[in-house]
């Protein structure tokens, strides 16, 4: 939905109990907001409550700058994990790449035509190859080489760049380096990776070769949040494409490229529109 009027989005999870929707929607109503979209989920097994609600704040009775503070007491009472996003603000995302250009190319193009609500202040890479592509879109490209000896220092350099540019989210657009736990903990549920397999099948390296050798009839791609364990983070989005015995390994790579860029783009869109809540090892997606 695209709206010209200013909106606010609340994303919240807490232990379930009666009255949560009533209290939250009343909070909005009594301040003059009109709910545009409300999605709610109760995980009855875990007794957890999840909500995403967006509302127009054109006639809101309190200044947006005081909104989060106003909501604070309710959130405390619920012992909730929450955030409120104001206006049509864009998320600040850094793209990490290596040598493959298809995901980078796709995200930059989508961003350029207004499909993604993100600002991309910088691109970071362990290879110099894709600088020309970055330049074409006018985005600074930081070449930070990484090898086993320099990894620690390189990650510190990356973290400094991210801090300096006030980056909220890191998108690994086929970045071929494994991030250390130390790096990951700076961006909990804010690093998005694309893995070129239908996870949890074919974890680790060379998933297309693994798929080819196993003789599967369908290949996939998976976008997930990065956690300390490789390829184990909460899954945001997956998709698949059918293959046959006629497809060589090269064909798998070719077909997979389309999957990877579509799946990653959808994950970035969902994340940037604040449509994802993490529920342990799983995600709640309010699409």
Q: Which of 29, 143, 164, 206 binds a second copy (CB under 8 A)?
A: 29
Beta carbons within 8 Å of 254's beta carbon, 6+ residues apart = none
Task: State which of positions 71-110 bind a second copy (CB under 8 A).
Answer: 101-102, 105, 109
Residues 58, 8: contact at Cβ < 8 Å? no
Task: State which of positions 194-253 bind a second copy (CB under 8 A).
Answer: 198-202, 213-218, 220, 234-240, 244-246, 248, 250
Q: Is the dihedral of CA 118, 121, 124, 129 positive or negative?
A: positive
Quote the least distance from Cβ 165 to a second copy, whole Å.
26
Nearest-angstrom CA–CA distance, 207 and 127 = 22
Catalytic-role residue among 16, 231, 247, 287: 231
Q: Which of 3, 62, 178, 230 binds a second copy (CB under 8 A)?
A: 3
Residues 25, 55: contact at Cβ < 8 Å? no
Q: Can 231 be counted among the known catalytic residues?
A: yes
Q: Which of 4, 63, 113, 147 binds a second copy (CB under 8 A)?
A: 113
Structure tokens at 3: 């709206």
Task: State which of positions 256-275 bind a second copy (CB under 8 A).
Answer: 258, 262
Quote the least distance from Cβ 183 to a second copy, whole Å.
23
Q: Which CB sits closer to a second copy, 168 or 258?
A: 258
Apex 191 CA angle, 229 and 108, nearest 5 = 135
Q: Which CB sits closer to a second copy, 90 or 165?
A: 90
Apex 177 CA angle, 122 and 260, nearest 5 = 75
Nearest-angstrom CA–CA distance, 220 and 107 = 19
Interface with a second copy: number of residues (CB under 8 A): 71
Q: Catalytic residue numbers?
A: 231
């Amino acid at each position: 939905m695209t709206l010209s009027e200013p909106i606010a989005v609340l994303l919240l999870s807490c232990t379930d109990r009666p009255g949560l929707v009533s209290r939250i929607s009343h909070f909005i109503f009594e301040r003059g907001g009109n709910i545009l979209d409300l999605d709610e989920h109760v995980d009855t097994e875990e007794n957890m409550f999840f909500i995403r609600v967006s509302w127009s704040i054109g006639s809101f009775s309190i200044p947006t700058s005081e909104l989060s503070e106003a909501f604070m007491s309710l959130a405390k009472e619920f012992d909730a994990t929450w955030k409120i996003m104001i206006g049509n603000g864009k998320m600040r995302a850094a793209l990490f790449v290596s040598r493959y250009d298809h995901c980078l190319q796709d995200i930059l193009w989508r961003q350029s035509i207004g499909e993604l609500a993100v600002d991309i202040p910088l691109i970071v890479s362990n290879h110099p190859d894709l600088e020309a592509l970055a330049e074409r879109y006018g985005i600074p490209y930081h070449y930070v080489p990484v090898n086993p000896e320099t990894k620690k220092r390189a990650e510190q350099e990356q973290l400094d760049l991210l801090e300096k540019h006030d980056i909220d989210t890191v998108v690994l657009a086929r970045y071929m380096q494994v991030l250390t736990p130390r790096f990951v903990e700076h961006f909990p549920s804010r690093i998005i990776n694309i893995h070129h397999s239908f996870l949890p099948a074919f974890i680790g390296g060379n998933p297309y070769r693994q798929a080819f050798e196993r003789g599967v009839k369908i290949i996939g791609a998976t976008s997930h949040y990065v956690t300390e364990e490789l390829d184990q983070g909460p899954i945001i989005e997956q998709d698949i494409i059918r293959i046959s015995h006629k497809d060589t390994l090269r064909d798998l790579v070719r077909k997979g490229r389309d999957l990877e860029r579509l799946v990653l783009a959808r994950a970035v869109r969902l994340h940037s529109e604040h449509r994802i809540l993490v529920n342990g090892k799983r995600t709640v997606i309010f699409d």
